[in-house]
């Protein structure tokens, strides 16, 4: 239906053409390495950011596009950490009328930075890799087939659900619904309820249709594909660089 | 015909964000009281045109409804004047009961509760669902849901009813019921459909869309009689 064929990307670049496995290794590698870096190692964090920006520049995805996705997710990351500076404990710093914990402030900065870099890596990965390739990449990296299939089905039906929600909202708008005020929450709640019921019914129909075509609960794998030299170079080079930085930089 | 048209479309052109040109240079006017059939092959742009009439999409060119241009300040009034019935009744029905779904539009119009209830009862009777008001839409048959969807705009007492494929996926009796209902309701109607028989039976005028362009406009007796024309536009 409205599943974008090339996921979030229409462009072509060196990064787009890399094998999904290479990008998965490098960018998910970055996420793990970044998240496991001890707080206060600002030199390393700056390098991770520079690395990410370099790949983003190579990919030629519009910065506007990346920023928009990043901003959509970021509030959730910040929300998790925003209360940390208000923790009790010494020493404290005064910021205007507020008295903040120095340790909490540092933790807030670290968590936000890690979140920013991790989300940035995932955004970049999805912006340069069509969903189908990502899924095949995961399967070829020996992620159990049933997980890959779950992800694939989720991806497919999320779009269907979004499409259904959009059409439902449109039909309500045609009858004068504006959905701007708090008392519209009831209407929105009902729509979500109706969507849920229908998703559930559809889930059962889809399962029956799968069973009718011989599905017995065991997902089938994807055919193997060879990695090219460039892919290996990118993945190995990126990982080596990142690991070295995590070990060496202050 | 004299007087100002109820719906006046001039030079309407629209492309979807992905670049698909769905309507090109469409000019049509529809007068109050006309029942107009809108036909054309899959992908001709029928649904796209109907969405424009409800102000759901906006292309270049101009659309006026009852003399008002389609802009932000008139959108509310126009949506009350044009009752849009979508193809899939499940998009339209989302409340726990049919009656509440019928009340949704009038409540958005801020009518008082007494009037709302009066209209709901009248609309349920009009579509032959008088005893179904308390049921969940999920438990209605598809044909009943189609009629309930029509009732959800009847309660708004629109000046025109615009329907997208009202007879699709219905059994012969369900189809006959819809046709009889549309005939009974009267008033201004725009009916997008693949059901040429319905058009011949109900409509005094038929518009043929093909590839986003208006390729014919006239009485069904003439327009739909030309076999080679129908073949050329995927209608036969
Ligand atoms: N959301 C969308 N995004 C992009 N293109 C679209 C979208 N919806 C419709 N189109 C395209 O616009 C054109 C007109 O579509 P539309 O749905 O208006 O046709 P239709 O006449 O209603 O067809 P049908 O008889 O199949 O309902 C088609 O080429 C279609 O592929
Ligand atoms: Mg259509």
Looking at ligand 1, which atom is closest to the CA of residue B49? 18
Tell me if A135 is assigned to some domain: no
Residue B234: other Cβ atoms inside 10 A: 15
In a domain, A1, yes or no: no
The model carries a pTM of 0.73
Q: What is the pLDDT of residues A146-177, one digit of tens each?
A: 788 788 778 777 877 888 888 888 898 888 88
CB under 8 Å to A48, separation ≥6 — which residues? A30, A33, A34, A37, A117, A242, A245
- Is residue A207 located within the same domain as residue A237? no
Are B101 and B148 spatial neighbours (Cβ–Cβ below 8 Å)?
Answer: yes
Domain-embedded: residue A52: yes
Same domain, A48 and A79: yes
| A46 and A160 part of one domain | no
Do A70 and A193 belong together in one domain?
no
CB A197 within 8 A of CB A161: no
Nearest ligand to the CA of B235 is 1
Residue A134 lies in a domain: no
Residues A155 and A108 in one domain: no
Q: Does the pLDDT of residue B156 top 70, yes or no?
A: yes
The per-residue pLDDT for range B128-153, each reduced to its tens digit, is 999 999 988 888 999 999 999 999 99
The verdict on A125 and A55 lying in the same domain is yes
Count of domains observed in chain A: 2
Residue with tokens 């205007």: A96
Question: Do A235 and A114 share a domain, yes or no?
Answer: yes
Q: Which candidate, B224, B208, B158, places its Cα nearest to that of B49?
A: B208
Q: Establish if A28 belongs to a structural domain.
A: yes
pLDDT at A182 (0 to 100): 63
Instruction: Specify the pLDDT at position A22.
Output: 93
| Residue of higher predicted confidence among A214 and B98 | B98
Please list every residue in chain A whose beta carbon sits closer than 8 Å to the beta carbon of residue B72: none
Using 50, 70 and 90 to split pLDDT, how confident is the model at B193?
A: very high
Give yes or no: residues A168 and A241 share one domain.
no
Same domain, A197 and A243: no
Q: How many angstroms separate the alpha carbon of residue B193 from the centre of ligand 2?
A: 8
Confirm whether A184 is domain-assigned: yes
Ligand nearest to the CA of B86: 2
CA of B146 to the centre of ligand 1 (A): 21
Residue at A89 is within a domain? yes
A215-232 per-residue burial string, b: 16 or more CB within 10 A, e: under 16: eeeebeeeeeeeeeeebe
Structural domain contains residue A26: yes
ipTM of the complex: 0.74
* A124 and A85 inside one domain: yes
Ligand 1-lining residues (CB < 6 angstroms): B 16, 18, 20, 22, 40, 42-48
Please indicate whether, in this complex, the C-beta atoms of B91 and A171 are within 8 angstroms of each other: yes
pLDDT at A6: 44
How far CA A6 is from CA of A131, A134, B149, B167, in Å, comes to 7, 11, 36, 36
Same domain assignment for residues A108 and A158: no
Best mutation target among B52, B88, B94, B109 (most A Cβ atoms within 10 Å) is B94
Residue A3 pLDDT exceeds 50: no
A65 lies in which domain range? 8-129+225-248
Tell me the C-alpha to C-alpha distance, in Å, between residue B107 and each of A127, B84, B119, B163, B189: 43, 17, 11, 22, 23
Peptide bond into A91 cis (omega under 30): yes
**Do residues A66 and A121 both lie within one domain?**
yes
Over 90: is that where the pLDDT of A95 sits?
no
Reply yes or no on whether the pLDDT at A112 is more than 60. Answer: yes
């Amino acid at each position: 239906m409205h599943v974008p064929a090339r996921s979030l990307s229409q462009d072509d670049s060196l990064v787009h053409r890399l094998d999904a496995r290479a990008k998965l290794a490098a960018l998910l590698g970055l996420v793990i390495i970044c998240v496991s870096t001890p707080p206060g190692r600002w030199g390393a964090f700056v390098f991770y950011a520079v690395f990410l920006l370099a790949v983003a520049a190579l990919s030629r995805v519009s910065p506007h596009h990346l920023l928009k996705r990043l901003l959509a997710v970021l509030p959730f990351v910040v929300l998790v950490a925003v209360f940390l500076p208000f923790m009790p404990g010494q020493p404290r710093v005064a910021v205007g009328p507020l008295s903040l914990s120095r340790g909490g402030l540092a933790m807030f900065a670290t968590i936000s930075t890690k979140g920013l870099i991790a989300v940035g890596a995932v955004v970049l990965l999805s912006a340069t890799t069509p969903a189908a390739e990502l899924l095949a990449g995961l399967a070829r990296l020996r992620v159990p087939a049933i997980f890959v299939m779950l992800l694939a089905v989720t991806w497919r039906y999320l779009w269907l659900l979004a499409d259904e929600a959009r059409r439902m909202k449109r039909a309500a708008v045609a009858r004068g619904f504006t959905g701007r005020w708090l008392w519209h929450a009831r209407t929105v709640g009902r729509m979500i309820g109706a969507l849920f019921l229908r998703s559930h019914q559809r889930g059962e129909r889809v399962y029956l249709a799968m069973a009718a075509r011989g599905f017995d609960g065991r997902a089938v794998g994807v055919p193997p594909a060879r990695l090219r030299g460039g892919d290996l170079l990118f993945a190995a080079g990126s990982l080596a660089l990142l690991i070295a930085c995590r070990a060496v930089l202050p | 015909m004299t007087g100002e048209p109820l719906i006046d479309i001039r030079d309407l052109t629209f492309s979807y964000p992905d670049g698909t040109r769905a309507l090109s240079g469409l000019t049509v006017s529809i007068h109050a009281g006309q029942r107009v059939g809108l036909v054309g092959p899959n992908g001709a742009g029928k649904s796209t045109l109907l969405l424009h009439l409800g102000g759901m999409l906006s292309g270049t060119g101009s659309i006026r409804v009852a003399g008002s241009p389609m802009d932000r300040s008139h959108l509310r009034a126009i949506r009350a004047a044009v009752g849009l019935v979508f193809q899939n009744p499940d998009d339209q029905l989302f409340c726990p009961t049919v009656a509440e779904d019928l009340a949704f539009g009038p409540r958005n119009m801020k009518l008082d509760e007494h009037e709302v209830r009066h209209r709901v009862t009248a609309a349920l009777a009009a579509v032959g669902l008088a005893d179904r008001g308390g049921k969940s839409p999920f438990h209605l048959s598809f044909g009943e849901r189609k009629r309930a969807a029509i009732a959800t705009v009847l309660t708004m007492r629109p000046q025109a009813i615009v329907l997208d494929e009202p007879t699709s996926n219905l059994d012969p009796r369900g189809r006959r019921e819809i046709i009889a209902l549309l005939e009974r309701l009267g008033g201004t109607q725009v009916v997008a459909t693949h059901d040429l028989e319905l058009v011949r039976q109900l409509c005094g005028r038929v518009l043929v869309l093909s590839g986003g362009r208006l390729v014919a406009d006239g009485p069904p007796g003439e327009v739909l009689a030309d076999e080679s024309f129908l073949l050329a536009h995927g209608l036969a």
